[in-house]
């Protein structure tokens, strides 16, 4: 099956962060099957190399880069190299990200710097680097992977919620800015699907185990999410939800916000470990 994005962008040049595994790899696989030239990044060189071999076996031309996306100097170097060798970029996919959990005041400021650097600043870097190239071309599409967490804002995961909310805000902001230049924008807001997003988490074990369990039992595979993303982006969709529950939460939050906030607060307050922390705080 040929993708609409392929017909829209016959030069077929994509740059995807975090493509060494999971959703990033699945997105790259779909593009490789259509013969795209793909720049892939991962913090682990071995993962990037494994993806490269797999993508090339599917028909893609691959340039792989191993670096930390929160390092803007390293990012700039890799992106510039890709542009030099590919001649431009038609599809920029800001996919790299990490998951974490815990209470805001118990999550160290060092860890805040870490997660903001990857989930928020790296998305800004990729978008910042891509826009001037796409403006000169007069065409391009930017896809940023956010999360339903960016608008549901559930407790005990503020560090993740905040960074994903920033991705949604950035995408909505630039949508109007880049449209006159022929550049499209999509922001992806899925609920839980199977991935290794919690693998690098730094929060307390209690929060990590909850998040990991929800991801493990999720029925949705990254390959399904990847196909949804590229199909909807090809159709020019801005807000990409998957599955239906993600869209449902979006509407509930907007039509009955106070009820939504109250439900979250009351449900959280009833948890045994939360009540225990309240008692400890009062006795300290």
Pairing relationship of beta strands 37-42 and 13-16 according to DSSP bridges = parallel
The alpha carbons of the chain give a radius of gyration, in whole angstroms, of 19
Asked whether residue 18 is domain-assigned, the answer is yes
Dihedral sign, Cα of residue 243, residue 119, residue 165, residue 123: negative
pLDDT tens for each residue of 35-87: 999 999 999 999 999 999 999 999 999 999 999 999 999 999 999 999 999 99
Mean pLDDT of 242-249: 93
Q: Which residues pair with 39 in a beta bridge?
A: 15, 63
What confidence score (pLDDT) does residue 191 get?
A: 87
DSSP character for 97? Answer: -
pLDDT at residue 119 tops 80: yes
What is the reported pTM? 0.94
Asked whether residue 2 is domain-assigned, the answer is no
Asked whether residue 12 is domain-assigned, the answer is yes
Sheet architecture: strand order including 37-42: 61-66, 37-42, 13-16, 91-94, 140-145, 183-190, 239-242
Nearest alpha carbon to residue 142 among 233, 222, 81, 9: 233
pLDDT at residue 211 tops 80: no
Asked whether residue 1 is domain-assigned, the answer is no
What confidence score (pLDDT) does residue 200 get?
A: 72
Residue range(s) defining the domain that contains residue 31: 8-283
pLDDT tens for each residue of 254-282: 999 999 999 999 999 999 999 999 999 99
Distance of CA 165 to the CA centre of its chain: 11
Asked whether residue 176 is domain-assigned, the answer is yes
Place of tokens 């990254």: 222
Pairing relationship of beta strands 91-94 and 140-145 according to DSSP bridges = parallel
Residue 245 CA to residue 64 CA, distance in Å, equals 35
Are 79 and 127 in contact by the 8 Å Cβ rule? The answer is no
The enclosing domain of 141 has a CATH number of 3.40.50.720
The domain tally of the chain equals 1
Helix (H/G/I), strand (E/B), else coil: 218: coil
Asked whether residue 277 is domain-assigned, the answer is yes
DSSP character for 2? Answer: -
């Amino acid at each position: 099956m040929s993708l609409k994005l392929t017909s829209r962008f016959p030069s077929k040049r994509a740059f995807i962060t975090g493509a060494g595994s999971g959703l990033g790899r699945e997105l790259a696989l779909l593009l490789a099957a259509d013969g795209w030239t793909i720049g892939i990044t991962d913090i682990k060189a071995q993962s990037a190399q494994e993806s490269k071999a797999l993508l090339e076996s599917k028909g893609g031309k691959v340039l792989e880069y191993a670096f930390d996306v929160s390092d803007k100097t390293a990012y700039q170097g890799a992106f510039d190299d890709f542009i030099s060798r590919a001649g431009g970029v038609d599809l920029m996919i800001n996919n790299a990200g990490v998951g974490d959990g815990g209470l805001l005041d118990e999550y160290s400021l060092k860890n805040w710097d870490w997660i903001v650097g990857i989930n928020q600043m790296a998305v800004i870097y990729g978008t910042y680097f891509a826009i001037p190239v796409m403006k000169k071309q007069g065409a391009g599409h930017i896809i940023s992977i956010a999360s339903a967490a960016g608008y549901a804002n559930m407790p005990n995961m503020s560090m993740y919620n905040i960074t994903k909310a920033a991705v949604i805000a950035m995408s909505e902001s630039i949508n109007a800015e880049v449209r006159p230049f022929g550049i499209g924008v999509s922001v992806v807001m899925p609920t839980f699907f199977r991935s290794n997003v919690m693998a690098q988490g730094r929060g307390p074990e209690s929060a990590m185990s909850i998040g990991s369990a929800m991801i493990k039992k999720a029925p949705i595979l990254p390959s399904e999410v990847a196909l949804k993303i590229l199909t909807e982006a090809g159709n020019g969709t801005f807000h990409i939800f998957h599955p239906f529950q993600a869209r449902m939460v979006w509407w509930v939050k907007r039509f009955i916000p106070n009820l939504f906030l109250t439900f979250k607060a009351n449900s959280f307050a009833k948890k045994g470990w939360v009540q225990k922390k309240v008692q400890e705080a009062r006795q300290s």
